[in-house]
């Protein structure tokens, strides 16, 4: 892979698919994709510093993401359109807000990339022209 960011739907989906293929070919531990920070969506801490941005990890056949209760409901609704995907694990530590979700996903790179793009838009509320980065491969 030679490019690591994209900001149009077609470019993002190609970037995500290329990242998934590279992850599989390299046998890397995981692939991490992040959206550009957006304090209006991600929030800020008590000092006004931005909180971590939305991210999605992929390893072998599993997506990993952190969500709020509202985002979890949106994820569950979106998964109805991805019948080959299913939630395998929900973990809500007492010391953290939100839920860590593991979604098993057995599909080709293009279908996986479509899921990632829709997750950023429908679950995390990003606009259609959001910028995404492959930050770990």
**pLDDT band for position 29 (50/70/90)?**
very high
Residue 58: other Cβ atoms inside 10 A: 24
* Rounded Cα distance, 35 and 117, in Å: 10
In this prediction, residues 63-82 reach a mean pLDDT of 97
In this prediction, residues 35-61 reach a mean pLDDT of 89
Q: How would you list the strands of the sheet with 132-136, edge to edge?
A: 5-6, 132-136, 31-35, 55-59, 62-67, 99-105, 85-91
* Rounded Cα distance, 42 and 51, in Å: 6
The per-residue pLDDT for 111 is 97
Question: What are the tens digits of pLDDT across the range 2-13?
Answer: 579 999 999 999
* Rounded Cα distance, 100 and 90, in Å: 6
In this prediction, residues 49-69 reach a mean pLDDT of 93
CATH number of the domain at 13-37+53-136, please?
A: 3.30.1360
**Could you tell me the residue ranges of all domains in the chain?**
13-37+53-136
- For residue 59, which of 101, 1, 98, 105 has the smallest C-alpha distance? 105
């Amino acid at each position: 892979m030679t490019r690591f960011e994209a900001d149009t739907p077609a470019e993002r989906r190609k970037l995500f698919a290329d990242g998934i293929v590279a992850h599989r070919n390299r046998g890397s531990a995981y692939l991490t994709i992040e959206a550009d920070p957006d304090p209006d969506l991600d929030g800020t801490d008590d000092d006004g510093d931005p909180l971590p941005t939305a991210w999605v990890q992929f390893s072998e056949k599993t997506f990993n993401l952190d969500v709020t209760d509202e985002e979890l409901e949106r994820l569950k609704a979106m998964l109805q359109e991805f019948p080959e995907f299913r939630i395998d694990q929900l973990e809500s530590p007492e010391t953290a807000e939100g839920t860590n979700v593991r979604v098993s996903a057995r599909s080709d790179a293009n279908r996986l990339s479509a899921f990632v793009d829709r997750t950023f838009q429908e679950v995390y509320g990003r606009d259609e022209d959001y910028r995404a980065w492959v930050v770990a491969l």
